[in-house]
Structure 1
Amino acid sequence: MDIQLDTAPCGYFSISDSGVIMSVNQTLLDMIGRERDELMGKHIESVMSVTNKVFFHTYFYPYIQLYGHVDEMYFSFRNREQEDVPVLLNGVRQMRDGQHIVDCVVVIMRKRIEHEKDILNTKTKLQELYQATQEANQELERLHEEYKIKEQALIKVNEQLELMASTDLLTGLKNRRFFQEKMAHHLSLYHEEQREFSLLVMDIDHFKSINDTYGHPIGDLVLGNLATLLLSISREVDVVARYGGEEFVIILANCGEEQAISIAERYRSQVASADWGEYHVTVSIGAATISAADTELSVFQKADDALYASKTGGRNRVTHAASLVRR
């Protein structure tokens, strides 16, 4: 660890997704009166009281998994004498060296009265959780008494939260966050291994009129049915996601311009010919294929410009960005 970070005026540590300490600076070691070899490779909860372990699992883990960061969380570590050391904790979850790492900084709390008030508020919130359901209460009680046994169960809960964080709740498709991560992955594969891919941006034609005429519940039903149809058509290697509103995106792996147009036409025609009951549903599609000069943003912008061309050209059609350049 570089000396500036090791002696920074705030504590620093990094942990794996499972909570194992991967690095810690001297400032934090001095704060809690520990030696470096006492903590490296150990679980971060080894320097916490039982109450703070429950707090860490109840708030820190779910929040960092869902949102990727935690800001200004009041917390306590245990020093060698088993005394609480109150701190203010900030954390961020990011990908490094092929794995998710949680980097955290801590500052000792000087205003103990304010800290104790926050702890009291936290205990009140925990008590409300205890009262929510008998199952939740029993689970939390077992966490106090059988923490080691329940550790694996809580890890599984965190995995489920990660799945929820990548899923659009209305349609069941992958969400915008997941799509952006996969775009970065495919772009990396293209630059490293020349694996070509294409992107489709799809928009439901006149969707506002469906909402205005039949109401938003029917609009939501159309979105859900379209998502099911798209999944039934897509290949296993492709990524189908809801980008927002009535807009969907599809990453076509190992797919060049001609194949992308063919696949997009298949999507368009099957949506247009599907049985939508009394509703008339069609989609407009813009396509783009990766090139050496492209970034994530430029590929999406080209596909979006092609979508606009499909919309202004009469809707219910496919346009590839390459055709816009050739005009």
Structure 2
Amino acid sequence: MKKQLILEDGTVLVGTGFGSDTNTIGEVVFNTGMTGYQEILSDPSYCGQIVTLTYPLIGNYGINRDDFESITPAIQGFIVKEAADFPSNWRNELSIQEYFQMKNIPGIAGIDTRKLTRIIRKYGTLKGAICGMEEDVDTVIEKLRATQLRNDQVKQVSTKTPYPSPGRGSRVVLVDFGMKHGILRELNKRNCDVIVVPYHTTAEEIISLSPDGVMLSNGPGDPKDVPEAIEMIKGILGKVPLFGICLGHQLFALACGANTEKMKFGHRGSNHPVKDLATGKVAITSQNHGYTVEDDSIEGTQLEVTHIALNDGTIEGLKHKEVPAFTVQYHPEASPGPEDANYLFDRFLDMIEAEKSEGAELCQNVQI
């Protein structure tokens, strides 16, 4: 069945629909990863977005039970050059066609994804629609330009009630802003006693759980749309060690007096080089974010930049100068091939142990 992809700038691309036959509207972004489409489509950080995959063949190894980052996908749609009809892999259980139909996700194949990516890189992210050929183009464009994308994505994807993931080790309260399951998996691997709480949990409620550390998860959208989380972070800073990832990193920066801004087209992919300023080492990282911490806003705060992106020089890591807290913009729980950034979870637990055993002074000596 023919479908059309219509962008708010007037661009129209025609392809073949797959998955759900419903129409959809969202922010059109692109991801440069060569693999990992299952993780991408199930990542809650893509809530409200239509994702373009730049790699030309998607679905060739199918869908399996183990690689999901959430139970219910929040993605609005998928744009690919070619969707594989007959996947081949020993773990394969479903084709992407079958999975997209099951989860009511619309997709469009046969699109010149290189052309589409160049448009986004030139003009920035655009609102777009995947719809049937019967839809009038001018009417859809007018609707796109009038549409205000929702700003409650975190509320949509966060857990509604707290729940435990028991372990015998350090107790970590994990604040769910749209948490990838990989974060929970890494904490469980280290035997942490994890309590996952909703995005609007207050500082007082978190402290009442007697945590040894607090983790701020990834999530979708603009960090300034979650003011209650900013206030919560202010309330726990200095009281318990803190580690933030992606949206958690941006919220931490805002809580410490820095500022964030929307990027032209963001970082989305599994091959982004990031430099650790303390060691000089470069890690190949997985990233998915459309906002960044402003360089100039760090001055005058108690924050120190620890990591930078080598592609564009944007801030990729921060630590607090006075209290045990650090964050990264990228995803250390992901495995984009290497597991270069996985050590950050161990650093977090080292910080917790230092805080528990010898107090905050020793904790500051842990290298971030």
TM-score by length of 1: 0.31
Question: Between Structure 1 and Structure 2, which shows a larger proportion of strand residues?
Answer: 2
Question: Between Structure 1 and Structure 2, which shows a larger proportion of helix residues?
Answer: 1
Name which structure has the greater RCO, CA cutoff 8 Å, separation 6+.
Answer: 2
Structure with the greater alpha carbon radius of gyration: 1
TM-score by length of 2: 0.29
